[in-house]
Amino acid sequence: MASSVARTREIAGAARAVLEEEGAAALSMRRVAERLGMRAPSLYKHVAGKEEIEAELISDGFEESAAAFEEACAGAHDHLATLAAAYRAFALAHPHLYRLMTERPLPRALLRPGVEERAARPVIDAAGGDVDLARAAWAFAHGMVMLELNGRFPPGADLDAAWAAGVAALQERR
């Protein structure tokens, strides 16, 4: 057999394309199936349901963001500021994926194991091992990104300045 996981990856690939090109509202079983030249019910021969496809995308997102964070921090002086910039860049580059990864409780049972921890690692390191500070920094970055993605800041708001203010505050606690 052509390895059932390979089919799952093909489906995830199609789903990723739909998500990035057409947005979260378009991420439907019928739309994903259409990309693969089939009908929606056929997807269920390879995948348990929509949630499994989403979990696959979320796992991919964790791996990609972890790789981006690791690369950004490699040899950087100012870990916290560098990581903050990388975090924001990832979210703005893949807004639909970032939303999928964060806006609902994680389907942890369906995620590829270890993927969540790997993405969290650079944040804890950048906080010098202080987990409370790491969580505060993560929350700050996540909050900034979501408020920006949702257009919640006023039109003329200087977001770079707000990021700088937050990062500076957190840095002083190290």
- Which residues of this chain interact with DNA, rule CB under 7 A? 1-2, 4, 7, 26-31, 33, 37-42, 44-46, 49-51
Q: By C-beta, is 89 or 159 nearer to a second copy?
A: 159
Q: Is 138 in the site for a second copy (CB under 8 A)?
A: yes
Contact call for residue 166 and a second copy (CB under 8 A): yes
Residue 135 found at the interface with a second copy (CB under 8 A):
yes
* Span from 39-47, 68-76, 88-96, 157-165 in contact with a second copy (CB under 8 A): 157-165
CA distances 109 to 36, 105, 121, Å, are 26, 11, 20
Q: Give the nearer residue to a second copy in terms of CB position, either 93 or 164.
A: 164
User: Quick one: 30 or 104, whose CB is closer to DNA?
Assistant: 30
Segment near a second copy (CB under 8 A), from 38-46, 51-59, 90-98, 150-158?
150-158
Rg of the Cα atoms in the chain: 18
Nearest Cα neighbor of 52 from 43, 41, 65 is: 43
Task: Measure CA of the first residue to CA of the last residue in the chain; give whole Å.
Answer: 54
What distance in Å separates the CA atoms of residue 75 and residue 35, rounded to the nearest whole number?
41
CB 135 within 8 A of CB 77: no
What does the alpha-carbon distance between residue 127 and residue 153 come to, in Å, rounded to a whole number? Answer: 27
105 binds a second copy (CB under 8 A): yes
To a second copy, the closest distance from the beta carbon of 108 in angstroms equals 9
